[in-house]
Amino acid sequence: MMELKIQLIPTGEIILSPGKNGESYCHNCSKAVGTDGVRVMMESALTARDRVGVQDFVLLENHTSEVAFIENLRKRFKENLIYTYIGSVLVSVNPYKELEIYTKQHMERYRGVNFYEVSPHIYAVSDNAYRAMRTERRDQCIMIAGESGAGKTEASKKVLQYYAVTCPASDHVQTVKDRLLQSNPVLEAFGNAKTLRNDNSSRFGKYMDIQFDFKGAPIGGQILNYLLEKSRVVHQSHGERNFHIFYQLIEGGEEDLLRRLGLERNTQQYQYLVKGNCPKVSSINDRSDWKVVRKALSVIGFSDDDVEELLNIIASVLHLGNVQFGAEDGGNAWIAAETQIKYMSRLIGVDVAVLREALTHKKIIAKGEELMSPLNQEQAAAARDALSKAVYGRTFTWLVNKINDSLAFKDDSRLTSKNASVIGLLDIYGFEVFQNNSFEQFCINYCNEKLQQLFIELTLKSEQEEYESEGITWEPVQYFNNKIICDLVEEKFKGIISILDEECLRPGDATDITFLEKLEETLGGHAHFVTHKLADGKTRKVMGREDFRLLHYAGEVNYNVNGFLDKNNDLLFRNLKEVMCMSENKILVQCFDREELTDKKRPETTATQFKNSLAKLMEILMSKEPSYVRCIKPNDAKQSGRFDEVLIRHQVKYLGLMENLRVRRAGFAYRRRYEVFLQRYKSLCPETWPSWNGRLVDGVSTLVKHLGYKPEEYKLGRSKIFIRFPKTLFATEDALEVRKHSIATKLQAGWRGYSQKTKYRKLRNSAIAIQAWWRGILARRRAQRRRQAADTIRKFVKGFIYRHQPRCPENEYFLDYVRYSFLMKLHRSLPKSVLDKSWPTPPPALAEASELLRKMCMQNMVWKYCKSISPEWKHQMEQKMVASEIFKDKKDNYPQSVPKLFVGTRLNGEDINPKVLQTLGNEKMKYAVPVTKYDRKGYKARTRQLLLTGSSAIIVEEAKMKQRIDYNALKGISVSSLSDGIFVLHVPCEDNKQKGDVVLQSDHVIETLTKLAICADKINSININQGSITFTGGPGKEGIIDFIAGSDLIINKAKNGHLSVTAPRLNSR
């Protein structure tokens, strides 16, 4: 059985691990990819479709229902499937948590794969744009939109990371990749801030061009920025923060740096940082972010001097915000404390007095004369804030230009229109609707109106071009054309921007209220414009008197006109510009050009600048092939897993997703190239399965007819099939699901048969090859052995012939062999013990060596034997040696005693009477044996015990010591040569203590006499007699013992008065 393992990964794919034989199979598979696993779409299975919805909104059955749209979003969001398509548009829902779908493995999965073959992902959009740029040689653009907190910035980062990892690399290319990636933290630090909706909200619009060479490697880039929210520098709403860089500098800056900049490590000390009352954010680590920014500046190419000048400007803005003004008696403003302005003047390199005068006066030119007019306290504060905004805004522009310089491709000779292409990346603010909407929201929403207009036009255009290229009749689509709203804002002379500029430039006392009145007067009858004065009674209840309402494509938005004129003018007093031009700070000198002072032309207003830059952006986008990413924020609390339907419905509306879906579904819901459609569904028709050999269009036509498609359900184009209704496609998918069971069985059976046949053939071929190889080896070995055997026999015969001659080449082999044979024979038959005297007969040439070896072998065996014996055995052997010396070849029963071990004593302590032991005292008994004593008179036998001590032999009768014979007095010992046990101890007759010689008999005569000879040191005093022994029976008396050989041992007194001993002869001598 094959093992099937299914792994569900976060992108919504199923990965099937290959089986034992490399096969991959599943009942719910939609595509197989080799033997390294099968990638399939969850949406292709019926059960999965019900659980996680469809991966393309175009396939929704009820595509006009907003409820169905949001429900499909909800299903996928709950399963962590944050990406869904609307045709080629990617909808992304911010998960507010880390998902394991951005690894290098995932990047490789989407690399070079058809857009619809894998589940929706930002990498799929990135790769599709990249491949289109490479193959079609046409510039691309990825437009990312959505409200603050929806994940636009993160999406743009993922695109850059994808290109950094998957594009070709070299040393120069790697440098460009690093700079592109490191530009993000720098721009985020200076252009992003914490808002109520997002902790890392981009407060500017960004368009980045990434340049690629003909190999597809990134070689440069350029960034365009739009409408930085400069007002945040001087004011933040409650719960919001200033730009990140201020907090990063104070929290992460080194002590020496802060001391040089005159800053304290406390954000509460600075007026520009306390207005939002939000110095700390749990999700932001300003200290670590500071390190990231410093490293990024270095990677991008900022010198130490550049960084120092940049930080001087940031610190000077903080000091400028702390400058406080007082009022003199006449109402003129004066600077209350000099500390902050001194710090600022030192940091930017201007004279303190000049800076003080510029902050409290304004220069007026009247009739060619320059006059200095003092400012009141309120005007001075406004001038201070205007200077802060101008300094920070222009510094940000300088920063973007500096980054562009580092990203610019220097070798222009290689970068031509033929070999270089561009992918644009637009990360711009989404539609904003707040409780109080001002000038910034007006510009942002105007930008979104233009993008929506472009989006609809390009979508319709691409749809129409596809229909025309495929030869299918284009059916006009009814949609809301927001050109009327764009004209309302930007039309010359009549648009809101023109009216605002006119009000800003006209002489007289122009105010925000006069601007509102002028709007009412000019646009009063417009269908998409309403004010409190023009509205009906119901609308007036929800509108302020200073508001005007625009009916955008995404809904109604009320704008408060307060501040419109000031923000549009964005004027900076002339003398403040002059002071900045006098600065020694190299960055400020570049930001404030002296030509501004001589230019008599009034600078363009903010709204006009924004309108012109937006027009240029539209031209850029129109020149490129667009891809769209629409980001959605699931809730305002930034919580993972929470799906706020009201908030999402609002975003779906103002992102125009339903409008886009309606345009995409106006004709046909599904379209695929013939080869893709036929490859997927050919198994459903017997005529197209397993392969179709005719034209693709004929194969598809045959297939759809077999499936029962009705004419109104599909159209056949030149290279694609168009299916009108999702239910038609789903019915086909369901039929494929059923068909897969039988296909899988057939494929498995075929694969098993093929794999087993292949395996058998491989084994058979291997066996044949091994057999042939082994036979060759055996044959070569046999031939080699024959050659060697012949050479050996030849040498042996020749050596045998010359064996008696001196060593020469002819006989050396034979002689060596003879020596070797003898040595090997000797090795096998060496003597095993010292008693073994066998030794092989050596050849004549080795006689002397053999004798030396024999002696060495014997010495070695003796040495080993001596080393191995114990002290007890050594003592035993010493006694046996004495016995051998005395009795060998002299007494008949000696050979029988040799194998018997001598014992220490024949009588134990309990066998000897205690009185005898007491009499002995300290005298140690060395040996005791029972004996028979024969009287000197009559030769009567009496039982006695013979005790041997260190100095004497003692004869004991029970408890009585009958006789003690000192060893010194012992003259000798006599014993016969027969096998009897009779022996005589000869003592001197002169000794009165002794009565005469003692005749004894012992069953262990050899042992007893050996012990006695050793104890008495009388080894040479033992006489072995043949025939008879004469002994002294007392003073002047002699006795004779006659020994006769017989068959049995008989001891008696003979008739001649002698002691007759008949003993059997055991050995013949």
3-state secondary structure 252-319: HCCHHHHHHHCCCCCHHHCHHHHCCCCCCCCCCCHHHHHHHHHHHHHHHCCCHHHHHHHHHHHHHHHH
Q: Is 921 a catalytic residue?
A: no
Q: Which DSSP category does 508 fall into? A: S
Please report, for the chain, how many H helices and E strands are present, in that order. Answer: 35, 34
Question: Is residue 430 annotated as part of the catalytic site, yes or no?
Answer: yes
**Peptide bond before 634: cis, by omega within 30 degrees of 0?**
no
Q: What is the DSSP string of 435-473?
A: SSB-HHHHHHHHHHHHHHHHHHHHHHHHHHHHHHHTT-P
- CB atoms under 10 Å from CB of 636, counted, come to 13
Cβ within 8 Å of residue 703, ≥6 positions away: 677, 678, 681, 682, 684, 685, 687, 688
Q: E strands of 260-377, at which residues?
A: 325-327, 333-335, 361-366, 369-374
Question: How do beta strands 625-632 and 89-93 pair?
Answer: parallel
Q: Are strands 421-427 and 140-145 parallel, antiparallel or unpaired?
A: parallel
Catalytic residue among 119, 198, 360, 498: 198
* DSSP code for 368: T
Active site residue 202: yes
- Nearest-10 crossing angle of helices 483-490, 496-505: 10
Cα(229)–Cα(214) distance, integer angstroms: 38
Residue keyed to tokens 């005529």 = 687
Q: How many other C-beta atoms are found inside a 10 Å radius of the C-beta of residue 162? A: 23
CA proximity to 668, closest of 729, 730, 724, 732: 724
Instruction: Kindly name the residue from 30, 84, 92, 148 that is annotated as catalytic.
Output: 148
CA angle 261, 266, 268 (to 5 degrees): 115
CA angle 178/181/186 to nearest 5° reads 110
Active-site hit among 43, 147, 309, 432: 432
Of 902, 908, 924, nearest in space to 1010 by CA: 902
CA 127 – CA 355 distance, rounded (Å): 54
Determine which one of 149, 191, 393, 1039 is catalytic: 149
Retrieve residue 919's tokens.
Answer: 């009499």
Q: How many CA atoms lie within 13 A of 141 on its CB side?
A: 22
Catalytic residue among 24, 201, 688, 702: 201
Known catalytic membership, residue 413: no
**DSSP letters for 140-158:** EEEEEE--TTSSHHHHHHH
Count the residues in the chain: 1069
- Given the residues 184, 202, 395, 568, select the one marked as catalytic: 202
919 is catalytic: no
Q: What's the Cα-to-Cα distance from 1051 to each of 319, 1005, 1044, rounded to whole Å?
A: 146, 16, 10
- Catalytic residue chosen out of the listed positions 92, 153, 231, 345: 153
Which one of 430, 495, 667, 996 is the catalytic residue? 430
Q: Which residue has the tokens 């894998």?
A: 118
Angle at alpha carbon of residue 697, lines to 694 and 698, rounded to 5°: 50
225 close to 206: Cβ distance less than 8 angstroms: yes
Contact criterion met (CB below 8 Å) for 1008 and 887: no
* Backbone region of residue 714 per phi and psi (left: phi > 0; alpha: psi in -120 to 50; beta: other values): beta
Q: Which of 891, 1032, 1051 is nearest to 972 (CA)?
A: 1032
- Helix axis angle, 496-505 relative to 606-622, nearest 10°? 150
Contact 620, 223 (CB under 8 A): no
Active site residue 216: no
Q: How far apart are CA 325 and CA 333, in angstroms?
A: 6
* Contact of 1019 with 970, CB cutoff 8 Å: no
Q: Which residues are catalytic?
A: 148-149, 153, 198, 201-202, 430, 432
